[in-house]
Every structure is written in C-alpha cells, then in structure tokens.
Amino acid sequence: MTCMMQAGLWAATQVFMDHPPTGPPSQDDFSEVLTQVHEGFELGTLAGPAFAWLRRSLGLAEEDYQAALGPGGPYLQFLSTSKSKASFFLSHDQRFFLKTQGRREVQVLLAHLPRYVQHLQRHPHSLLARLLGVHSLRVDRGKKTYFIIMQSVFYPAGRISERYDIKGCEVSRWVEPAPEGSPLVLVLKDLNFQGKTINLGPQRSWFLRQMELDTTFLRELNVLDYSLLMAFQCLHEDEKGLGSSLVFRTARSVEGAQSPEESETQNRRLLPDTPNALHILDGPEQRYFLGVVDLATVYGLRKRLEHLWKTLRYPSRTFSTVSPARYARRLCQWVEAHTE
C-alpha cells in the first residue's frame, strides 16, 4: 500500500508543480477532486489546489514535498497507542506524518478547510497541526482508503527524549512505559505526566494565549477529542538562553512586515532558526515540540450518547467525550496548571 501511496503522491504533486496556484484558493478549489489512474490502483487528491496554496504559504517547496513523500525511500510505519484503527506512517526523512482516516472524518476536515485556512492566515503561528493534503487510495476497484498528510510535530526527532499525547482527562490516559534500554519509542499520555511541568520561562504567556485562540476556534467548529502533542529535548549549553529575548517582538511573515498592533492581535512570536519552527518553543533548559492534532471529531449524536454512557460509567472521573466548550476549557486549564 505504501508503494502505491508513494507513486500516487509523486504524480499528484507533479500536477501542482506544473500548474502552481496563482492566488488564494477559490470556493471551487476547496471542492475539487482529482483522480489519477495508475497500474492496479487510483489515487484521489481532494481540494488539491487549496492544499497546494497552503503548502506554498508555509514556505514548503513542492520539490521537497514530492521528494519526501515519493518513492525515494520507504515510509516508516509505527504502532500507535491510539484506540482508533488508523494506520500511521512517517516519510523517510520523518518530516511528514501520514494517517489513514474514515470517510466521515475526511468529510469533516474538508467542510472545515476554508475556516481552517482562514484561521492560519489570522494566526500564522498557530499551534494547530499543518494539514498538507487529503487523499484517497482505491486498489483494483475496491473500497477507498482515505489518508491525510501533515507536518510532523516531532521533527527533527534525533534528540527527543519524551513524547506525550495530552487530552486533559483521566480515563484511558495511561500507557505502560517501555522497559529501560528498550528501543521502543512510545507516546505517553496524561497520567504518565503527573508530577511534571513544562518550563517555558518568558514564552509561557504566549503559549497560554495561543492555546486559548486555537481551542476557541475548535470549539466554534463544534470539535472535540483533539490532543496536544508534546515532546522534550534537552538543550546544549550553547543553545540555552537564545530564545528568551525573542518573545512578543514583531515577526516577519511571508506577506511582509507587520505592525506591532497586528503582531499582538495575531499573537506572533519570533520563531527559532530551526526546522519545524512553528511547533518549537525553547525554555531555559529544554526545547519543547508542541502541536494540536486530530481535528476531525464533531460533537454529534454519537458523541452525545457516548458522553451520557461515560457519565454513568465513570461518575467521578474525567473522560474525553464532553461538550466542545468544556473540552476546550479543560485542556487550557491543564496547560495552565502544568506550565511555568
């Protein structure tokens, strides 16, 4: 399957290299579906022009995107601690993350895509994961498999020591840690983080404000069950202190310089000079990789029924299925309580 994904993505990206976007996406761009037939399979590209424009606005060269996701090297598959039945892959350079999704989740993502793009324009340093593509794969006229592509929050991963998936609740939020010396790389959860804090120093205020802005946006979309991904990396002595003077100064976007008033409204910060800077914050002693992922679960009838069932099943414990307003508020409270 991954060989088909690679061949299909190579051809799909070539279309937008040959015909790059000339301006912001139109309404038709958000609904376009491109189907390319290959030997033994077909690959669909959903809202391709909109995602091509988004990748360009992020400064991502299509040639680099194509090289990372094409047949140049095998994808890395990994086992997740998630309860979903999704499959997870990384590009061979670990820069891009691929995840299979259900049809309903894909419909939600595409329905929200125009507002998602608008939110990133208003808040260029948002912590929301950067969604870069949505595709379908059909093998021998069988059932379609949908998958998304996004920037990996945990990149570059070479010196990362701990990884966490945080939802701000208790039920099913523990992962048995790998034995000492084990080569397994696990993403731990809320209960594994008990007794720990994130020491951001002067960047804490920016982080709390951005979490408020992003969760407010997700609440307005009626979305819940998203996660704050976190990873830790110890800074070398010559790296410490470089980020402390960068907070709350005006940053330059791809569109040009911003006034201090615009910068404050957009909650900008000066980004570190490192790959994946949008998801990296440096504290006094550690570098933190931070991003909000899994943005496709809406609070519909199924989730409302699940909330009622869990209320009876776990009367004195916190669980993930709550109203979007409560979910957003609780995650922000978790962040405030666990940062300094």
158 Cβ contact list (under 8 Å, min separation 6): none
Q: Which two tokens stand for residue 41?
A: 């399979």
Contact 50, 30 (CB under 8 A): yes
Q: Which residue carries 């309404």 as its tokens? A: 27
Angle at the Cα of 177 from the Cα atoms of 152 and 76, rounded to 5 degrees: 35
b/e 309-324 (16+ beta carbons within 10 angstroms → b): ebeeeeeeebbbbbeb
The model's pTM is 0.90
173 versus 96: which is more confidently predicted?
A: 96
Per-residue pLDDT for 261 more than 60? no
Nearest C-alpha neighbor of 277 from the set 9, 10, 60: 60
Q: Are strands 41-46 and 33-38 parallel, antiparallel or unpaired?
A: antiparallel
- Run of H or E residues at 108: helix 103-122
Q: Which two tokens stand for residue 114?
A: 């125009």
> How many Å apart are CA 21 and CA 15, to the nearest integer?
11
The per-residue pLDDT for 302 is 77
Contact 242, 168 (CB under 8 A): no
Q: Which two tokens stand for residue 325?
A: 């307003």
> How many Å apart are CA 52 and CA 176, to the nearest integer?
40
| CATH architecture under which domain 1-151 falls | 2-Layer Sandwich (3.30)
Domains 1-151 and 162-236+276-338 share a fold: no
Tell me what the mean pLDDT of segment 146-158 comes to. 96
Per-residue pLDDT for 146 more than 90? yes
63 versus 251: which is more confidently predicted?
A: 63
pLDDT band at 243 (very low <50, low <70, confident <90, very high): low
The per-residue pLDDT for 242 is 62
Question: Coil, strand or helix: which one is 84?
Answer: coil
Q: Which two tokens stand for residue 213?
A: 């802005």
Per-residue pLDDT for 28 more than 70? yes
Distance of CA 220 to the CA centre of its chain: 18
Tell me what the mean pLDDT of segment 211-232 comes to. 97
Choosing among 3.10.450.50, 3.30.810.10, 3.30.1700.10, 3.40.630.30, the CATH entry for 162-236+276-338 is 3.30.810.10
The total of other beta-carbon atoms located within 10 Å of residue 161's CB is 9
| Digit-coded pLDDT (tens) for 319-332 | 677 899 999 999 99
Per-residue pLDDT for 160 more than 50? yes
% of the chain exceeding 70 in pLDDT? 91
**Domain regions of the chain by residue span:** 1-151, 162-236+276-338
The per-residue pLDDT for 21 is 93
Q: Are strands 162-166 and 188-189 parallel, antiparallel or unpaired?
A: parallel
> How many Å apart are CA 65 and CA 60, to the nearest integer?
7
- Least confidently predicted of 102-106, 159-163, 180-184, 313-317: 313-317
Query: For all residues of the chain together, what is the average pLDDT?
Result: 90
